Amino acid sequence: MSSRRILVTSALPYANGPIHIGHLVEYIQTDIWVRYQRLVGNRCVYVCADDTHGTAIMIRARQEGRTEEELIAATQQAHQRDFDGFDVQFDHYGSTHSDANRELCGQFWQELRKAGLITERSIDQLFDPEANTFLADRFVRGTCPNCQATNQPGDNCSKCGSTYSPADLIDPKSTLSGATPELRSATHLFVELEQLRPFLTDWVANSGALQSETANYLSGFFLKEALRDWDISRPAPYFGFEIPDAPGNYWYVWFDAPIGYVASTQEWCQQQGESLDDWWRSEDTEIHHFIGKDITYFHTLFWPGMLKTAGYQLPTKVHIHGFLTVDGEKMAKSVGTLVTAETFLLHHDPAYLRYFYATKLTARVEDIDLGLEEFADKVNSDLVGKVVNLASRTAKFAGKLGLSPTYPDDGGLFEAAANAGDAISAAYEAGDYAKAMRQIMELADRANPFVEHAKPWEMKKDPARQDELRDVCTVALNLFRQLSIYLSPVLPRLSQQCGELLGDPITSWEQSRSPLVGTPVAPFKHMLKRVQIEDLKKMIEESKPSEENTPDVPAVTFEDSDQPLKDEPMSEEITIDDFVKVDMRVARIVAAQHVPEANKLLQLTLSLGGDERRNVFAGIKAAYEPEALVGRLVIMVANLKPRKMRFGLSEGMVAAAGPGGAEVFLLGVDEGAQPGQRVH
């Protein structure tokens, strides 16, 4: 069979926060599929990029006192570090804020214009006069106009479920500044998706690109009625690409983000001397997108419509997965289950998470649950107790004897495992990794009794049984090698260790069909250790907000899907009388230093004007270097009762926002403000 040419993408991670274990479901899922395709001999290229545009990036950069370009460059470096740590390997990892993406956005835009799909009209939108920006739905909160529930987001009510526009909210407030937004008119540009409905209806139903449940959902919900125009622009100020024929307007982040797939491919093509048309305009190339279910309609309606109009190849398959829960609950920073990739790697081998996700991922759109006890049981039982066990119990003997010159009689174990390869391969191809893992572990269950029954550790004691011992080791290590080949897409490090042990690197699926004989065996090196449930619990505890790493004010956090997080319980209700007791003042940081005894605190000396100084401990060490803070104006709560800490007396708090750790942002103050000035 001839080799297939396959282009694979994962959804672009947003450059406004770190990679966490929820994100990793998708990138591990994709990386496994890519590694499998290469193992069976297909040419498979995997591209991705950071999603870098939007109001959230602009606001965060402003709060941190650096440019958007500086922010997204630092975030991309951290993202790539985390992906490398989990053995997620891209052929090219770009950025949507690139010259290639800007140029391609212009090309797509021209084709949409030529097709008569662009219209424009003035719409009313809330504007924050203090932050000087129009407000996306997620940056507005107020009282629901339907049920009067308070503190509701700008698009739908979490209490009664009603939908509305931000302007419909009663007493709306900007989450950026707390100001009351103003209703202002602005010109927006739209794609008239309804013109594409005949094409989209046919593609969704008949292309075979979508899982059946997704196709049925789209056909029965979105495509039954006229499609709404897609708002494709945002007025200034906005961090993104300005639309060439509409000055003062910028392409909305969801326009340029998927085009980033093409741009990243183009950059790879330029590096490799390839043609972009061979990968995005050729029917000989398969295009596979891996995404989460929260961005389904962007990839199954908007994106195919853009590709069709611009003359690009349509996706061969859109692989959609569900969300991750931990111990049956939505991930939440408050309980420590929103574990970052960086934190996980401090405690555990990435192979553990790659394998566990593989045991849970199917070809269907299903949520998966990471139960801590189940996680430990699977790793310990399957990987350590079944797979590595075959090598650890025999390799030390084979190191002195080598492998037998001919493959011994094993009762048909190797042949049966070789014959199972086609079914395992089919499960990988279909994205049903859970089925593949079950089949592989069934082979391990058959292999281990062979070793247990033969008792090579007893043969070692009898000089007359050394040939028999070598035969047993030859069988066990070849069965281990078969398992390592089948697990290679999931556990690339174990695959590499197996190749080093037996002197034969694993590079092809076909290696599972032929045993190794007559070769030396290298000294056995430790492969995987058992997981301790106590270590998992320690990781969760360290991921919880603590006295040191909790921001000085409640954080406002957002998911990459632009939906408000709802995992933090609301605090006890207060009145305006309670709120006005808080005396917030402008303060200047005149000194800042590390606290040697604390992992997450900085010691700040704040000036309130004149000779008045305050000593404040702030949990911002992961986000700021002390020397960069000196001279900066901040907002402090000046009438907070002093608190005795083991490091000294803290005489107030500085106002900040963010989910914690490196994602903490001091609230900015205009340089014209004076220390000691009250903030209302």
Tokens representing 3 are 């080799």
- Helix, strand or coil, per DSSP, at residue 150: coil
Strand segments, DSSP code E, in 85-212 are: 92-95, 118-128, 133-134, 140-143, 152-153, 170-174, 182-191
Rg over alpha carbons for the chain, rounded to the nearest Å, is 29
**178 conformational bin, left if phi > 0, alpha if psi -120 to 50, beta if neither:** left
Tokens representing 427 are 């499960």
**352 conformational bin, left if phi > 0, alpha if psi -120 to 50, beta if neither:** alpha
Q: Is 269 one of the annotated binding-site residues?
A: no
**What is the spatial distance between Cα 516 and Cα 37, in angstroms, rounded to a whole number?**
24
* Cβ-based neighbours of 336, under 8 Å, separated by 6 or more: 539, 540, 541, 542, 543, 544
Instruction: Kindly report the backbone phi and psi dihedral angles of residue 415, in degrees, each rounded to the nearest multiple of 5, phi listed first.
Output: -65, -40
Q: Is 157 one of the annotated binding-site residues?
A: yes
Q: Is 160 one of the annotated binding-site residues?
A: yes
Q: If residue 616 lies in a helix (H) or strand (E), which one and from where to where?
A: strand 613-618
Q: Is 473 one of the annotated binding-site residues?
A: no
Instruction: Kindly report the backbone phi and psi dihedral angles of residue 234, in degrees, each rounded to the nearest multiple of 5, phi listed first.
Output: -135, 140
* Cβ-based neighbours of 382, under 8 Å, separated by 6 or more: 355, 359, 437, 441, 444
Nearest to 491 by CA among 9, 28, 81: 28
Three-class SS string for 329-350?
EECCHHHCCCCEHHHHHHHCCH
Nearest to 633 by CA among 592, 664, 593, 668: 668
Tokens representing 110 are 């021209």
| Binding residue ranges for Zn(2+) | 144, 147, 157, 160
| Binding residue ranges for ATP | 333
| Binding residue ranges | 144, 147, 157, 160, 333
